[in-house]
Amino acid sequence: MNNSDHQCCCHCGQPHKQGSAYCVIIGDKEQAMCCPGCQAVASLIVHGNEVNKDEKRGRK
């Protein structure tokens, strides 16, 4: 296995090949995920935090 072709999932830390089709924008930066499950959970965490901020500001 060539380590230069692999990176770690931003959510679970498992290795995956570069150019993963699964990613989430976190803090204005595209973060690669290893699978659709990690992509879904990370997306919920990020978007859930955005919804909570809007609710605290009185926007729904």
pLDDT digits 0-9 by tens, 3-41: 556 789 989 999 887 777 899 998 889 999 999 999 999
pLDDT category of residue 57 using cuts at 50, 70 and 90: low
User: Rounded distance, CA 40 to CA 35, Å?
Assistant: 9
pLDDT (0 to 100) of residue 43: 93
DSSP string, 4-52: GGEEE-TTT--EEESS-SEEEEETTEEEEESSHHHHHHHHHHHHHHHHH
* Domains of the chain, residue spans: 3-56
